[in-house]
Structure 1
Amino acid sequence: MTRSRFIPLAILLSIMAMIAAVACGSETVEVPVTQIVEREVQVTQVVEVEKEVEVPVTQVVEKEVEVTKVVVETETVVETEEIEVTKIVEVMVEAPEGPKETIVFSDLNWTSAEIQNRIAQYIVEHGYGFPTDVVPGATLPLFQGLRKGDTHVTMEIWLPNQSIGWTEAVELGEVVSVGKSLVGDWQSTFVIPAYIAEQHPDLKTPQDLMKPEFQELFATDDSRGKARLVACVPGWSCELVNDEQIETYGLTDSLYVIKPGSQDAMFAELFGAYEKQEPWLGYMWGTGDPALKLDLVLLEEEPYTQECWDSGKACHFDESLVLIAVNPSLLPRAPEVIGFLQNWEFSIPVYKPVFQWIDSNPEATRAEAAIWWLENNQDLWSDWVTDEAAASVMAALDAGLEAEGWPEE
């Protein structure tokens, strides 16, 4: 009886001992447990749907727009030489919208170029709404300015004087010709007054200037016993032609060359000598002021050929080809102005009346001469522009307006 009560007690003590052993032991028993965690996660859901989407499309709209024919074509002019000249090709271009940028003219420093600029500026400003400006200077620097885009329009590019630089610029796409002016003008390094030709019939060619009697005839106090020749203004393309012809003809030791500082100084030399009936020898061209007023004679030279011109220039200048040129940047932004310049027809007969008016009004400015010409030649210039532009120009003339881009004179 007593023993049977101790058995449960023994069992209980044994269990407690085991628990104590586990509790006090140094070994940890890991029991795998599956843990359930609830959390929010972002899920990308792919859903197929059908939906109407607006896609940008090119809209074709039929409307009436004013377009201008822009000329961009190259042809070869073949007479006595070959020169690449850009001519008319019909390309329909719509004038761009937005503010109109200033068009800068190359303001070459002689009368015909200045007059053409003032007239063209007035029409561009009041007929087509473009602001204008000018950059004054001589042939060579202003041609470089046109190539670089510092100016946009040059109304007189003289060929063959500028033929080398012109051909290069055309090939590089830096300039484009859009028209012609002063067609048929002439040039010569060796011009004398008609009264000198009558007094000295043996003076016929440049080589005759080497003779002692003609050295003495044209000698002055400052020419050191040599014949005095008035050459081109420095910076004009004809300056280089004068120099080369003098060397090729063997006249370097026979001539004392003067290069006046301006057109006005050159003209004053000739006008002064002519008034006194004194000897004068030098360069002149057909639309130079003295040539339009005085009786002049060109010394005889061999006819122009390209071969001669490329090998010393011991021959006449070719009949001048005077181009209107633009920087290519002007084509897309002012097609209406390009169209106007393509129609420009400022020939020598057109120029002579305005020159005569200037001669009769010596105090008048180039701007005043341009106004006079526009007011008295509407039938001519109105054919160069659109009807709307012509009406706007006439309204500006009637209102007594000037062109804001004209330089101070």
Structure 2
Amino acid sequence: MTRPTFYRTAALLALAALPGLASADCGKVSVVSMNWQSAEVLAQIDRFILDQGFGCEVEIVPGDTMPTLTSMMEKGKPDVAPEAWVNAVRQPLDEAVKAGRLHYAARALKDGGIEGWWIPKYLADANPALKTIDDALNRPDLFPAPEDRKKGAVHNCPSGWNCQITTENAFKAWGAAGKGFVLLDTGSAAGLDGSLAKAYERKQGWLGYYWAPTSILGKYEMVKLDAGVPHDKAAFEACNSKADCLRPVKTDWASAEVFTVITDRFKKAGGPAVDYLNQRSWGNDTVNALLAWMSDNQASGEDGARHFLENHPDIWTTWVSPEVAAKVKAAL
């Protein structure tokens, strides 16, 4: 190496080592990791790409939907909520966006969060007439209850969850009891998952409430039944979501909108990193499969992020420039 080249290289290394200079293009950014699996792994993917690809100084902070978005609206921090399920806080969030305090970036989940009643794909393939909830309720013989095989069973959402109420009201609205069904209490998330896994591995009938994205739908291929009616927002909020609903109506579940939300401070300071967050979006099939891998391998969000980045460059490289992709690949 010639002396001038040596000096230039040494100077560049020295400059890069100065505090804060390596992250000058992006600066410090706080990214919230919410307390469910898909949000946790997405936060870790963002951490790795923002750090290695854009030179950001990333701090991961714990959070949950309501307290995090409230803090962002009122205090302007944390900077990034990678997976914000916005339905429950849409009005004040829209007002904060209109006022310029916050900004919607990409749809974190292209398909949105999905709720409804599901059946195994092998059962749907064997019975192509089963398309809607009404179709399934006309065939209690395909979904025998464990304690009374003459009746069909609808598996309920875990106890204490709001979806337990909405499932009970859907059971009433569709007149399932009069069609020979019982509503089966699964007790917990583990109980619900266990009932589905047991039926799937034995290739038996199963009908019940579930949601996506989740690891169980990544492991077991399920088909969501068509409600046959659109989502009735007014009826759902006024009655179907209430425990004391006397006359629930047939209504589809709403598709939950799931966005990445960023503060105005980071939008102005983040540079090209903001472009990444405006592009970064994935589908439920991808997330389901990743969550299934994480569950099978008892993997953390950080493990899941590395697994995804190593195995799916076909997806994540579309979110960034070739130069940034090269940096991330080198860091892996």
Q: Shorter-chain TM-score: which interval? A: 0.5 to 0.7
Q: Deviations over 1:275-333 (max 9, x none)?
A: 2344433222353333334343434422325xx23223623335554322224443234
1:396 aligns with 2:331: yes
Aligned to 1:370: 305
Q: Aligned pair in 2 of structure 1 residues 333, 357: CA closer, same or farther (>3 Å)? A: same
Q: Aligned pair in 2 of structure 1 residues 230, 243: CA closer, same or farther (>3 Å)? A: closer
Residue of structure 2 aligned with 1:324, choices 248, 252, 260: 260
> What's the secondary structure of 2:229's corresponding residue?
coil
CA drift at 1:122: 0.8
Q: Aligned pair in 2 of structure 1 residues 377, 185: CA closer, same or farther (>3 Å)? A: same
Aligned to 1:106: 33
Distance 1:118 1:103 in 2: 12
Aligned to 1:287: 213
Give 1:133's aligned amino acid.
I
Contact 2:81-2:260 within 8 A present in 1 as well: yes
CA drift at 1:383: 4.3
Q: Deviations over 1:225-248 (max 9, x none)?
A: 99452316866x766754654565
TM-score for both structures, normalised by structure 2:
0.65
Structure of larger gyration radius: 1
Q: Aligned pair in 2 of structure 1 residues 322, 391: CA closer, same or farther (>3 Å)? A: same
Distance 1:185 1:99 in 2: 29
Aligned to 1:21: none
1:156 aligns with 2:83: yes
1:218 aligns with 2:142: no
Give 2:283's aligned amino acid.
S
Aligned to 2:90: 166
Distance 2:112 2:103 in 1: 21
Q: Tell me which protein shows more helix as a share of its residues.
A: 2
Contact 1:125-1:131 within 8 A present in 2 as well: yes
> What's the secondary structure of 1:131's corresponding residue?
strand
CA drift at 1:107: 2.0
Distance 1:252 1:171 in 2: 44
The size of the alignment, in residue pairs, is: 287
CA drift at 1:216: 9.0
Distance 1:215 1:376 in 2: 39
Distance 2:165 2:90 in 1: 15
Distance 1:328 1:187 in 2: 29
1:205 aligns with 2:133: yes
Distance 2:313 2:142 in 1: 51
Residue of structure 2 aligned with 1:122, choices 45, 48, 70: 48
Aligned to 2:6: none
Aligned to 1:193: 120
CA drift at 1:103: 0.7
Alignment of 1:227-376 (within 5 A): 227=153, 229-231=155-157, 241-242=166-167, 245-246=170-171, 248-249=173-174, 255-258=183-186, 260-261=188-189, 266-305=192-231, 308-312=232-236, 314-317=250-253, 321-348=257-284, 350-351=286-287, 354=290, 358=294, 362-376=297-311
Report which stretch shifted further, 379-388 or 122-131: 379-388
Contact 1:102-1:131 within 8 A present in 2 as well: yes
Distance 2:131 2:183 in 1: 15
> What's the secondary structure of 1:369's corresponding residue?
helix
Contact 1:232-1:283 within 8 A present in 2 as well: no
Give 1:218's aligned amino acid.
A
> What's the secondary structure of 2:57's corresponding residue?
coil
Alignment of 1:14-29 (within 5 A): none
Distance 2:263 2:165 in 1: 25
Aligned to 1:37: none
Q: Aligned pair in 2 of structure 1 residues 131, 187: CA closer, same or farther (>3 Å)? A: closer
Contact 1:106-1:153 within 8 A present in 2 as well: no
